Amino acid sequence: MRAELLKGHLDLLLLSVLADSSLHGYAAIEELRRRGGFELPEGTIYPALHRLEAGGLVNSRWSAESGRRRRVYSLTRSGRRELARRRDDWRTFVGAVEAVVA
């Protein structure tokens, strides 16, 4: 999928992939690729994760796996509420576009 189609939706996608489990940035990118075939400039993910963290929607901690340190991100409670709100907005938007385009 083209990267420009992601504009404006990256936060929703990141919140969605973090909803099921805590992930580090690389794993989040892999998950986006696996679930939706998204190919995006990978360097966009980390500033987005930092922005979500500054907004209190995710938190993060260092985790050491097989001797490698990675920053692992998880949804906060307000992140889950925000995800629910954005999912509703997204479904409304998709329904409206579908009604016009179809």
Q: Which of 21, 34, 36, 42 binds another protein (CB under 8 A)?
A: 42
Binding mask 69-98 for another protein (x = CB under 8 A): xxx---------------------------
CB of 28 to another protein, least distance (A): 10
Output the smallest distance, CB 44 to another protein, in A: 7
The stretch near another protein (CB under 8 A) out of 12-20, 21-29, 89-97 is: 21-29
- Residue from 8, 37, 43, 95 in contact with another protein (CB under 8 A): 43
Return d(Cα 49, Cα 22) in angstroms, integer.
12
Contacts of 58 (CB under 8 A, 6+ apart): 14, 15, 18, 49, 52, 73, 74, 75, 76, 79
Answer yes or no: are the C-beta atoms of 12 and 82 closer than 8 Å: no
Binding residues for another protein, rule CB under 8 A, total 19
- For residue 79, give the H/E element and its range: helix 77-101
Order of strands, sheet of 23-24, starting from the edge strand that comes earlier in the sequence: 23-24, 68-75, 58-65
Q: Binding residues for another protein, per CB under 8 A?
A: 24-26, 41-44, 46-47, 50-51, 53-56, 68-71
